[in-house]
Every structure is written in C-alpha cells, then in structure tokens.
Amino acid sequence: MPIIFHEETGQFHLFNKDVSYVMELKEQFLVHAYWGERIRSFTQSDTYPKKDRSSFSPNPYRTNDATFSLDNVLQEFPGFDSGDYREPAFEMTYSDGTKATQFQYASHTIYSGKKRLDGLPATYVMEDDEAETLEITLADNIRGIHATLSYTIYRDRSAITKSVQYQNMSEHTIQLNRALSSCVDFDDAAFDLLQLPGAWAREKQIVKTPLAMGIHVLDSKRGASSTHQQPFIALLRKNTTEHHGDVYGFHFVYSGNFTIRTEVDTFSQTRVLVGMNSHNFGWQLEPNAIFQTPEVVLVYAKNGLNDMSHTFHSLYTERLARGEHKLQERPVLINNWESTYFQFDEQKLLHLADGAKALGAELFVLDDGWFEARNDDTTSLGDWVADCKKLPSGLANLSSQIHERGLKFGLWFEPEMISEQSQLFQAHPDWHIHVNGYPTSLGRNQLVLDFSRQEVRTEIVRQMTEILDAVPIDYIKWDMNRNMTEIGSRDLTPQQQMELPHRYMLGLYEVIDYLTERYPHILFENCSGGGGRFDPGMAYYMPQSWASDNTDAIERIKIQYGTSLIFPPVMICAQLSEIPNHQVGRITPLQTRANVAMSANFGIMLDLNKESQETLDAVQQDITWYKKHRQLIQFGRFSRLISPYESNFASWSFTASNQEESLVFFFKILGAASEPFLRLQLRDLNPEYMYAIGDTTYSGEELMKFGLYLNPDMSGDFQSKVLHLKRLVTKM
Ligand code: DGJ
C-alpha cells in the first residue's frame, strides 16, 4: 500500500512508482522531509541537520532544545506566533484576543480511497484501490483546536492532494483569519517560478521568473479565481523545458479568492503555501464546528512541463470532471454571439441554424439577449423569461425547430447576476452583494446576486428549472461577467461579514451541483467573460470551459498553449470566428483560424450569411475533418512541442494511447526572410513503428530523434499545417 508509517522513526512515507512524499514527527511536530522522485527505501531517520542557528530562532518551550527551532525546520503546517517567523498556514484569534498556536501530533489514520469534501469540488476515486489517504490530526490542546491534514496519493498518478479540516474543541468561538490548504517546504531555492497571469481576452499567459529571496504573492481578491491569475504555480528546476527537468505543480481546486505565497528565507529554503485568500475572509468557528478547506493538487514530474501536464490532464479528465459527458465526444457547435450580439430574431436564428446544419455543426447555441427586453447589457439579468418580441413563439418552439433541423439546442445564462433594470431588482432591491447604505460599484452595468443567501439561490434555481423543465435544452453556457465589490450580506452578523465570499462560493457550488445532478443530460460549459473563472473548481461541475473571449487565432495560440499546461484540450473550448477579428482586428487565413480552433473543443462563431461559398465549403470540410479526428484531439495524449512564447512558431501534437496515430499541428506566426530551417522532433510515438505521412514513410524513432523540417515551404504571416501520422503495419 502506498502509505507507510514507521513507528520507530515517526516517519510517514507516501509513495507510488513515480513519487515519494515524506514527513516525520520531530518532538511531536510534523516536519517535511522530501517530495520528489520515488525513493524506495527512505531510512534516514534524522533528515534535517540539527544545529543551533541563533538565539533569535526560538525553541519550543517543552523541548527547549537549541538545535530545534520551528523558525528553520521544514514544516508541514507552520503555525502562528510560536517561533516560526515565516509565512503561516493559518491564523486564528481566540476569545482572549491572542493568536499564538502550536499544533502537535495527536493521531493519524490511513485508509483506502478518498473521501469527498462536503460541498466543495475535489478530485475523486471510482474504486477505493485507486488511492490511499492519510489523515493526521494535530492538536493545540490548550487552545482547544484540532487540525486534520488530509493527504491522498493516487496509485497510478504522480498526484497528491491535500486539504485541512479545522475543528473547534473549545467552549468558545474561534475566529479563523487564515485557513490555507497546503504548505510545502523545500530545503533550497534553486527554482524558477512559472505562473499563468492574464487579463480579459489575454488569459493564462506563461510567465517564468527566478525565485527570489522574500515573499512573493500571487492571488485573486476578486471573488473569483479570475482572468488575472490562475490558482496555479509550478516550481521548475533550473533549465527545465517542456521535456526535461523536475517540476512541482500546485493547483487549487477552488473558484473564489485564493493566495499562493512563496517565501524564500534567509537560509535559502522555500515555502509554498496555497489556499483561500485571507483578504475579505474570516470565519466564526463555533464550539464543535468544523471548517473544511478546499483541496490542492500537487503534481511532481521528473520529465519537464509536458510530463506535469499529462498528469493534470488525465486526472482532470478522469477524476475531476463528472457526469455522463466527461468521456463523451463533444459536439461541434455554432454560437450566435459574434454574428448577432443582441440583435436577432427567430428568423435570423433559424437561418443561422440552417446554415450551421448544412456545414455539419451539431449544436446550436443561443447566446446572451434571448430574455426579457435584453437588447444591450444594461438590463434584465435576473429575469429568465424569453423575450416575446425577439422570440414571439417562445423558447420551447425555438428549441423544437432547432431539434427538427437535427441540431441540439443550447442556451446562455448568467445566473449569478442582476441588472438594476430588471423585475427581480424591483422586487428585491437588496438581493445583491452590497454594504447597507453605501453605494455599490457597477461592472458591465450589473450587480452580483448574493448567492450566500438561500432565498436568492432558491429563486434563481426556480426560474432556471422552470425553463429547463419546459424546454428541451441540451447545453448551457454558464457565464459570469463581473467581480465582487462592497462585500456585505444582509443575512450575516457583523462578525460574519467576511464569510461572505466563501459562503458565496459554497452557495454557487450547491446550485450548480443541484442543476447538474437534476439535468445530467445537459452539457454545461463554464464561462466567465471568457476564462475568468476557468479553474479546477468549476471543472468539477462543468466538463468544458470557454477559454477566452479573444477569438483571434494568433492570440489564441498563446492562450491555449498556456491553458494546456493544466487543462486538457477536451476541457478547452475554441471557436472559428470571422475576420477582421472582433477583438484585435487581425486578418488571419481561414485554415489557420480553423487549425487553432480545432486544437481543442471545436465550434464556429461565424455569420454564415456574410461568408463566401468558398469559405463555407472550407468550413464544411474542416468540420468533417474534425469529427473524424475529434476522439484523438479530445482524448488523445496532448504534448506541446514548440512554445509561441519562445519563438516565431508553435506546435503541439495529439497521439493515440496505442501510438498508432498522431496529429501534429504547426504554426508559423510571422513571415520572415532568410529564416533558419526548423527541424521539429516529434513526441509520444512508438520508436518501433513505421508511420505514413501522406505518401512518405518514416520510422517512429526517426521522427522523434531526427524529426521533420516544417518551415521551409511556408511563407507569409499566420501560416499553419497539420500532419496526420498513421501507423503502417509493417515492422522495421
Ligand atoms: C461573455 C462571454 O464570454 C461571451 O462569449 C458572451 O457570452 C458574452 N458574455 C455575452 O454577454
């Protein structure tokens, strides 16, 4: 079994064939010893050198051993005001107004499988023998607080998950001010830090910087994980590439405010803390009450970034996403947003649907603007009733007309929002998040409904189920277009006000859980003005996400490349849109636009009336091609081959698990004179197999070790090509 506790040494060793994670009890404190490539026998019983580093590093009172200080040992759950001056994993205020906390080992259990986290998204197991879980309970008996640290290690994945549960064992309320989910201490700092910051329409850009002395904080205070940051970092050993080097990935399974703090101390030790942000956070933990933190997924990879991504991809496809769609091929859709925006009527939509059907699309998605007088973005959010001017025969009729055409029908919602100009606001002017008597900022002219309140959630669910019960709907695009401000909730006491952002997330998760369970056949797509809440928390409920409002193919290369670090192509939605592109004004050849969009979960966002017959014919061929290959694209092994962040090119491939087939996508961004020839070495093939590319035959070994020259015949800006490799059944 992959978790062992050695009584004599007090050592916990979590392992599988690829990874080891080791902790030890020192003086009843839980210290960290090692995380990295599997070590079969880890016998060293005194891993951390004992040394009196200075009288300024305090020694725990009970031990009073000058060679042991919490200030410099590697810790698993560093405390507050008890001798470690680095960043703490938690902070609480007790009834006497003080904060000092010193947790020590109390007990532990080891069991097969993995428990679900009540009310929170998390990775899971289907069978208990897929994983083993260790729960270590730490206690501060003077304060009367317990913290149970959970560690799950998967048998066949290089992934470990961590979370913490606090329990108040005292007779007084304890105020939680910081409650992080994971701490990992490394004994050195020779790392680069990779993060995925962005902005609206520029999501998940790869930024890599050397780790520096001091505290580095990467976070969201927006009430959502946000476009600005992804709750993810990777620490890379120096000179790590896509294919080589040690990588330590951390991804937080949560969609609200988060913090990822790295601290390099004066002894060049690195602490990585991940969890909910303490900004606008506080929790009144009543006697006996429990507080559960969301979980963090830790991935160790010894062969570079692709290796890390492969672990995230398979874990998220198989054991994060849920429901009947998770392993099903996703339909090619047409979405009306960029072709109509708010200006449409039934005729226009049906015309678009006819055109889409003729091209081979399978799902028609009606975007924003279909409900109650929603002619621009100033009104009607909260009134989920079809607009009788645009859709005089109603939604059900539209749905059946779409279905009669042989298309599935999808609908846009933005359930968490309310417009001031809406019936819902007139009836309930205090249902949004706000501070009483204080003006509330607007964002896209709208306010955020207070989903921490049961009555608010009930009403939105009522409106949505009324539609979903009456109208056959196959897909929902769940949008969310603004962040929180002026945090306040009518139902919470003054002491509880800072609970609102987390209570909101719990409320949101409850609503989505309910709807996805009640309508299992509906394919939910997560959207937040593009990728503004594209995180593992949402991926638990919705198996695909709109990656960005930026549909420009060239910008999308970088966005999708960055997104693919953590999410598999089947979770990433991309659509072929018109030129000049609506977000950046660029004119890109059709085939390149299609090749970028077909590298993920493919759809189109074209005004088919405006396109030439030649374009329509080409799009039809692309859709046919995509359907033929989508099993491979959506569920094959995805590897990044050339980074657009480092060159004028980008490339990635999709390879079947039996290695019989592969698709290689290659993009050249700008035309260039006297350009060096680029030889691209392929990946994931079987060196023993022979592959055909068109009429030419190559060995897998040759394609991976030597490669192919791909750029000499390409001229002009924004060019691309796709190679289809098929195994020839003759051995070398
Ligand atoms: C933002 C989304 O990302 C877009 O695709 C579109 O659905 C608009 N909202 C509609 O308001």
Measured from the Cα of 549, ligand 1's closest atom is 3
Contact 162, 298 (CB under 8 A): yes
Q: How far is the CA of 587 from the centre of ligand 1 (A)?
A: 22
pLDDT of 224 over the 80 cut: yes
Measured from the Cα of 367, ligand 1's closest atom is 7
Q: Per-residue DSSP letters for 568-596?
A: -GGGEEEEEE-SS-TTT-----HHHHHHH
Query: Quick check: is 376 catalytic?
Result: no
Looking at residue 618, which CATH number applies to its domain? 3.20.20.70
Distance CA 722, CA 675 (A): 20
Measured from the Cα of 412, ligand 1's closest atom is 7
Q: Is 513 helix (H, G, I), strand (E, B) or coil?
A: helix
Q: With 0-12 CB in 10 A as exposed, 13-18 as middle and 19+ as buried, what is 267?
A: exposed
Q: How far is the CA of 455 from the centre of ligand 1 (A)?
A: 27
- pLDDT for 87-127, tens place per residue? 999 999 999 999 999 999 999 999 999 999 999 999 999 99
Of all protein residues, the one whose alpha carbon is nearest to atom 2 of ligand 1 is 529
Measured from the Cα of 530, ligand 1's closest atom is 3
Q: What value does the mean pLDDT take over residues 138-167?
A: 98
Q: Are residues 311 and 352 in the same domain?
A: no
* Domain span including residue 703: 642-727
Q: Are residues 389 and 411 in the same domain?
A: yes
3-class SS shares of the chain: helix, strand, coil, % to 5: 20, 30, 45
Q: Are residues 583 and 703 in the same domain?
A: no
Q: Are residues 403 and 525 in the same domain?
A: yes
Q: Given 387, 479, 535, 552, which residue is catalytic?
A: 479
Contact 16, 158 (CB under 8 A): yes
Contact 138, 106 (CB under 8 A): yes
Mutate to test the pocket of ligand 1, among 226, 412, 575, 582 (most ligand atoms within 8 A of CB): 412
| Amino acid, single-letter form, for residue 22 | V
Q: How far is the CA of 529 from the centre of ligand 1 (A)?
A: 5
| Amino acid, single-letter form, for residue 681 | Q
Contact 97, 127 (CB under 8 A): no
Annotated binding residue 479:
yes
For residue 327, being part of any structural domain is answered with no
Distance CA 507, CA 255 (A): 12
Q: How confident is the model at residue 431 (pLDDT cuts 50, 70, 90)?
A: very high
- pLDDT for 599-632, tens place per residue? 999 999 999 999 999 999 999 999 999 999 999 9
Distance CA 313, CA 317 (A): 6
For residue 185, being part of any structural domain is answered with yes
- pLDDT for 365-407, tens place per residue? 999 999 999 999 999 999 999 999 999 999 999 999 999 999 9
Distance CA 111, CA 3 (A): 9
**Between 367 and 47, whose confidence is greater?**
367
Looking at residue 720, which CATH number applies to its domain? 2.60.40.1180
pLDDT of 312 over the 70 cut: yes
Q: Are residues 344 and 303 in the same domain?
A: no
Q: Are residues 344 and 472 in the same domain?
A: yes
Closest CA to 606 of 406, 398, 408, 351: 351
Q: Are residues 124 and 214 in the same domain?
A: yes
Q: How far is the CA of 596 from the centre of ligand 1 (A)?
A: 20
**Omega within 30 of 0 (cis) for the link into 569:** no
Annotated binding residue 721:
no
Q: Which ranges in 131-286 belong to alpha helices (H)?
A: none
Decide which of 577, 611, 632 is a domain's last residue: 632
Q: Are residues 404 and 290 in the same domain?
A: no
Q: How far is the CA of 219 from the centre of ligand 1 (A)?
A: 24
* Count of domains forming the chain: 3
pLDDT of 731 over the 60 cut: no
Q: Given 549, 552, 622, 684, which residue is catalytic?
A: 549
Query: Residues enclosing ligand 1, CB less than 6 A?
Result: 337, 367-368, 412, 479, 481, 527, 529-530, 546, 549
Of all protein residues, the one whose alpha carbon is nearest to atom 3 of ligand 1 is 529
Query: Quick check: is 430 catalytic?
Result: no
Contact 11, 24 (CB under 8 A): yes
Closest CA to 252 of 316, 197, 296, 298: 296
pTM: 0.98
Closest CA to 599 of 555, 634, 642: 634
Contacts of 427 (CB under 8 A, 6+ apart): none
